[in-house]
A and B are shown apart, each in its own frame.
Chain A
Amino acid sequence: MKPAPFIRHVPKTLDEALKVLAEVAPEDGRILAGGQSLVPIMAFRLAKPAHLVDINEVEGLDRLHSDGKTLSIGARVRHGAFHKNVVDNPLGKLLTFVGHHIAHYPIRMRGTFCGSLAHADPSSEWCLVSATLDATMIAKSARGERTIKATDYFQGIMSTALAEDELLAEVRLPLLAADAKFGFNEFSRRAGDFAMSASLVTYTVKNGKIADAHVGVGGAEPSPRRIAEAETALNGQTPGDAAFRAAAEAAASAIEPLEDHQTTGEYRRDLVRAVVRRALENSQS
């Protein structure tokens, strides 16, 4: 249970970090941010990176700010930052609510939002948030900068559109409508454990009818995503039990569930039906 040897690089600026990452990436160099997923897999020797580029001392990566349209989350913003409401918008409350489901308090002191997206565990809460809200990822490398849409970013279990020499420098989440409602629910066997299924929903109510519904499902498929069938089932309907059940049923039918030795596909489909319904029932402004 001891990590294999590696060489640590401690850049102080972003340019320096990208330069060293470009040099070491071909030799299995990785970024070390919070380390709350990477260090355990190194302890198990599932990962044996030869180089770690530790970004904990890079200036400016802890930036968390809103321009009134989007919330920008820098590469070193830790989960614990969202214990407080970070923006005067329903998104702030959403992030606080969802963030409390991430692992445990001491993990949240170290783990980072962007690190969670770079790791891309199917059950990650922040990956679900990013997919549901159509986040934009800002990838930086010595070659330059590019933006990646959430729909292109997630490419399967622990697999993303990031190239090996790219740092996920920032994630931008669009602010929600001032009257938006959100709901979240996840199922795991133990408090703080990986979600076996989770759902995040947002919508507004216009003239008594649901509008602009986003229904995201995580933990059930290789990557979290919006479920168009469930959103169609909601838009234009009166918020309430009938619409919520129809959307949950649509989500359960639409997914291609992961299976493992503990969880059959049918069971996970049933979980999706439950977490989507509960997320909608819990929805609040």
Chain B
Amino acid sequence: MSEKTDITLTINGNDHAIKVEPRRTLVDAIREDCGQTGTHIGCEHGICGACTVIVDGEPVRSCLMFAVQAAGKKIRTVEGLATDDTLHPMQQAFMDHHGLQCGFCTPGFLMLAVGVLEREPNISDDDLLDVLSSNLCRCTGYQGIIKAVRAAAIEMRGK
């Protein structure tokens, strides 16, 4: 009944021609069909934010979107943040400010923070705190993540 369809996902500028059922979530397609395993799957129902990616400039939960809905859109994942050997300012800030321990939630936090700051570079500290409440981290106690994102926000504004 639910036949596979041919779609092309454009992830970090690279086209991936894949065949998926309509029920395939975007995150499953990114990982299983396109082999981009930097994006993590946590809760699979939109609570934890581990699977956050940027679709057409908007940070979204990729477990709450079907892959077929992302065909033709520009998808960005954690693999696309660094340029050659240079980390994205957000990645560097997470290292510098102890924004991660086990790293499971990190790709989601990075894409959330980058996605929001690109849209709203002058977001207030309070609003940024509210944004960071979107995702769950069970290691850091969040303080390192908040410090890292605030530091990266300043650096990103400077560019």
Contact = CB atoms under 8 A, between A and B. Distances in A.
Q: In the complex, which range does the number of interface residues on chain B fall in?
A: 20 to 34
Interface of A: 1-8, 35-36, 39-40, 42-44, 50, 52, 54, 56, 80, 100, 104-107, 109-110, 190-192
B104 interface: no
B69 interface: yes
* Residue in B49, B52, B61, B64 whose Cβ sees the most chain A Cβ within 10 Å: B64
B44 interface: yes
B21 to A, nearest CB: 6
A7 B61 contact: no
Contacts of A56: 69
B88 to A, nearest CB: 19
Given A3-B23, A8-B22, A52-B22, A104 B49 contact: yes
B68 A8 contact: yes
A36 B60 CA distance: 10
The 10 closest A-B pairs by CB, nearest first: A104-B134, A5-B2, A1-B44, A8-B22, A40-B45, A191-B133, A109-B58, A3-B23, A39-B64, A106-B59
A106 B68 contact: no
Nearest to A104: B134
A31 to B, nearest CB: 14
B144 interface: no
A77 to B, nearest CB: 14
B107 to A, nearest CB: 13
A188 to B, nearest CB: 11
Contact of B64 (A7, A35, A44, A50): A35
A157 B43 CA distance: 25
